[in-house]
Amino acid sequence: MRSYRTRVTMLGLALACGLAAGCGGNAIDQGPDAAIIIDGSSTVFRISKAAQEAYIDVEPDVTVVVDNHGTGGGFARYLQGEVDIVNASREARPDETEKSQAQSIEWTRFLVGHDGITVVVNAKNTFVKALSVDQLKRLWEPGSTVQTWRDLDPSWPDRKIVLYAPDNDSGTFEFFTEAIFGSKVEQRDGVQQNSDDNILINGVANDPDGLGYFGYAYYLANAERLSAVAIQPGPDADAVAPSPETIAAKTYVPLSRPLYLFVKNASIRGRLEFRRFLTYYLENVSTLAKRGGYDPPTVEEIEANLADLEKLSPPPIASEP
């Protein structure tokens, strides 16, 4: 695997020659003063924010802006030409892919971590240690008649459950509903939804009968205020709690998921400062993912990322006769 310095030196030479007069080929717009704009998933936000902060020491004059309007919001901004990278906690939907192709703003997907959506209750809740997928389905499904803890388990208190969840633009919301229901559906009424994970955290942490879900890193950062619930995927299966080990081993099902960047191909090919940043991000993604609170990609996944990036290198410049 080539070093970051070697890679950026080679791409710098290729791009510089492409920009120079007489080298031939189409001119490439480096956009040296343009900020690198990243938006999307609040889950992946933590990894991209770690990349932004670390890159300041590498290229202090390059501006990287990281925002978190949910995976759906990130794709919407991308399709309006407003961002270079979408942080995504789910796959791109077919309609999003079709629109990007129709507008000739195609992307390349890079895997940057592994997460386990974590169902949490208030730290004072001493009775909910585990929930089955069937119980979660009964609790969250449209038209649900589950109102109290006793409705889920006769041995639990007859107190009203207060539900907290990401909003509908969130990739976490979409992944959770598909994982629990088997297809994308809306959830029940009466849920307190918010795009800000910290508001969801505070809601459950301050409500003895609160229950919610979000990315594992957000739970981990607030573990003293919340209790993670183990998930039983089937009637004959053991309940498994989320952890770096169970997420990496893919035994935390069905709520484990990969985390992605969807990166504009034109930005990779045409902007030297952008490609330098992305190269740094992908070569250091193991450290960045851990700093964000997630399991890093495997060695094979990192190598696949870098191979895909290499395919988007500017074409070799023909030598003058």
User: Beta 36-40 vs 64-66: how paired, if at all?
Assistant: parallel
Given this model, what pLDDT does residue 313 score?
77
Where do the DSSP E strands lie in the chain? 36-40, 64-66, 85-88, 107-116, 118-122, 130-132, 162-166, 192-194, 210-214, 226-228, 230-232, 256-264
Read off the pLDDT of each residue in 232-250 and give the average, rounded to a whole number.
96
Look at residue 9 in the predicted model and tell me its pLDDT. 44
- Comma-separated ranges of CATH 3.40.190.10 domains in the chain: 4-113+259-311, 118-254
Q: What is the pLDDT of residues 56-93, one digit of tens each?
A: 999 999 999 999 999 999 999 999 999 999 999 999 99
53-64 as b/e: b if 16+ CB within 10 A: eebeeeeeebeb
Q: How far apart are CA 90 and CA 292, in angstroms?
A: 17
For the chain, give the mean pLDDT.
Answer: 90
Task: Check if CATH label 3.40.190.10 holds for domain 4-113+259-311.
Answer: yes
User: What average pLDDT score do residues 221-226 get?
Assistant: 97
Overall CATH class of domain 118-254: alpha beta
Q: How confident is the model at residue 180 (pLDDT cuts 50, 70, 90)?
A: very high
Q: Identify the weakest region by mean pLDDT among 221-225, 236-240, 252-256, 316-320.
A: 316-320
Q: What number is the average pLDDT over the span 269-274?
A: 95
Long-range contacts of 136-144 (CB under 8 A, 24+ apart): 136/180, 136/231, 137/180, 137/181, 139/163, 139/188, 139/211, 140/177, 140/180, 140/187, 140/188, 140/191, 141/181, 141/185, 141/187, 141/188, 142/185, 142/186, 142/187, 142/188, 142/189, 143/188, 144/188
Residues 22-48: tens digit of each pLDDT: 333 333 344 445 899 999 999 999 999
103-161, pLDDT tens digit by residue? 999 999 999 999 999 999 999 999 999 999 999 999 999 999 999 999 999 999 999 99
Quick check: 312 pLDDT over 90?
yes
Give the per-residue pLDDT at 122: 98
